[in-house]
Amino acid sequence: MTKPGISGLQWFVILAVTSIAMGPLRFPAYLSQQMDQHGWILLLLALAISLWNTYVAVRLSSRHPGAEIAEWSRLYLGKFLSAVYIGCIAIYFFIWGYLTFGEHWLLVSYLQLKYTPVYTIVLLVMPVVLYMVWKGTEAWARLFLLLGFVMAVWLLSINLPQLRNINVTNLLPLGNLGLPNLFGKNILTIFYLFKGFAVLYFLSPLIQSDKNLLRLSAAATVTAGAEVMLSYLLPIMVFGYETAKTFTFPYQESMETVPFLLLPFEKLSFLAPLFFVLVNIMILIVCVTCCSQALCRLFNTRRIKRMYVIVTVLMSLAFLRTLTVNEVDQLVYITALIFGAIFVLIPNYMWIVTLFRKEKTR
C-alpha cells in the first residue's frame, strides 16, 4: 500500500512551477538592458548553480528522512543559531510571496486590469490560498498537478508559435559574450533564479519517490531553465535586443506577435490575467505553507492551521501596498543577497559537515 504524501510527478510539477514562476518577471527586460544578447551566459550559470544546490538539498533531506530543515538544522548550527536561521527562512518566504504577488500584479495591471483596485485581486486570491493550505499539502499537491497541465499547455501555446517570427541572427555578434558585464551587481541575480529547490527542505518528508528524487528534481530544474531561457531569448530573436530592452515586459510583447485565428479573440494574451492569477495562487500556497511551518518550529507550536490564518492575513495586508517597477528590481537584489546566504551558503556548509559524519542523524 502506498503511503500518503506527494507523488513523484506531483513533486516534479511543484518544483518546475515554483522555479519558473518565482523568478522575476522583469528579468528578461533587465537582462536585455544589462547584457544585450549575451544574457544566456548568466542564465546557464544560474542553472548550473541551482542544479548543484538541488543536489545538496536532496542529499541533506535524504540524510534526515521524515524531518524538515527546521528540525535538523540545529544539529549543524546549534539551538540559538538554528532559531535565527529558521526565523530568517520564515521572513524570506514571506518576502518571496510578497514579491511574487507584486510582480504578477504589475504585469496583470499592465496588460488588462489597469483600473482594477488591488484589493479585488487580494480578495479573489487569498481565500483560495487559505482554503488549499487548510486542506493540507496532499490536497494542494493534487491541485498543482492539475494546474501544472494547464500551465504546460499554455507555455507550449505561447512559445511554439513565436518560433515562426524569430530571427536567429539577432543573437549575433557573439563578440566577448558579455563577460565584462557578468560581474558586479549582475552576478547577484543568479541567486534569485531557479530557487524552487528551497521548497524541498520543507516538503521532503512527504515525497514518496525517494529513490528518484534527485533525477526528478534535476529534470524539473532543467525544464524551468528551458522556459526562463525562452522568455529571455524569444523577445530578442523576434525584435532584436535594442528593441527588446525598451519593453517593461519583453516576453509579453513577443507573445503579442502571435495571432490565434481559430479562437474567439485575436491574441492569446487576452487570457494572460487569468493565467497569472492561477500561477500566483500556486506560488502563494507554497510560500504560506513553508513560512507557516518555519514559524511553527520557531515558536514551538503545533497549531499549524492557526499559523496558516495568521500568515495569510498578514500577507493579504502587505499586498495592499503595491510595488513599483523600481521597487521590484531593488527587492530582487536584496532577496538575491538573502537567498544566497540562507539557501546556498548555509546548506552547502551543512552538506560539507555531513561528509565527516558517518552516522545518520535525526
Q: H-type helices in the chain, by residue range?
A: 8-21, 27-35, 40-63, 69-72, 74-77, 79-111, 118-135, 137-159, 200-203, 213-239, 241-244, 250-255, 272-298, 304-319, 325-340, 346-354
Give the pLDDT confidence of 32-62 residue by residue, as tens digits. Answer: 766 667 778 888 888 998 999 999 999 999 8
Give the pLDDT confidence of 61-73 residue by residue, as tens digits. Answer: 988 888 888 888 9
Residue 347 has a pLDDT of: 92
- With respect to residue 210, please indicate whether it lies within any of the assigned structural domains: yes
Residue 362 has a pLDDT of: 47
Give the pLDDT confidence of 306-350 residue by residue, as tens digits. Answer: 999 999 999 999 999 888 878 887 887 787 777 777 888 899 999
289-300 mean pLDDT: 92
Residue 262 has a pLDDT of: 46
Q: Taking the mean position of all CA atoms in its chain, how far away is CA 295?
A: 21
Q: What CATH number corresponds to the domain at position 138?
A: 1.20.1740.10
Give the pLDDT confidence of 141-160 residue by residue, as tens digits. Answer: 998 998 888 888 878 877 88
25 vs 196, 198, 228, CA distance in Å? 15, 19, 9
Residue 102 has a pLDDT of: 86
Handedness of CA 267, 284, 4, 54 (dihedral sign): positive
- 186 contacts 34 by C-beta, under 8 angstroms: yes
Residue with cell 543573437: 171
- With respect to residue 361, please indicate whether it lies within any of the assigned structural domains: no
User: Which set of grid coordinates corresponds to residue 87?
Assistant: 526565523
Residue 309 has a pLDDT of: 95
Residue 174 has a pLDDT of: 64
Between these two residues, 336 and 22, which has the higher pLDDT value?
Answer: 336
- With respect to residue 3, please indicate whether it lies within any of the assigned structural domains: no
The answer, yes or no, to whether residue 244 has pLDDT greater than 60, is: yes
- With respect to residue 359, please indicate whether it lies within any of the assigned structural domains: no
The answer, yes or no, to whether residue 206 has pLDDT greater than 60, is: yes
Predicted TM-score (pTM) of the model is 0.86
- With respect to residue 2, please indicate whether it lies within any of the assigned structural domains: no
Checking phi first, is residue 315 left (phi over 0); if not, alpha (psi -120 to 50) or beta?
alpha
- Domain count of the chain? 1
- With respect to residue 34, please indicate whether it lies within any of the assigned structural domains: yes
Report the alpha-carbon distance of residue 238 to residue 163 in Å, rounded.
Answer: 9
Instruction: Provide the domain limits for residue 140.
Output: 8-354
* 3-state class (DSSP) for residue 6: strand
Report the alpha-carbon distance of residue 189 to residue 210 in Å, rounded.
Answer: 31
Report the alpha-carbon distance of residue 96 to residue 175 in Å, rounded.
Answer: 36
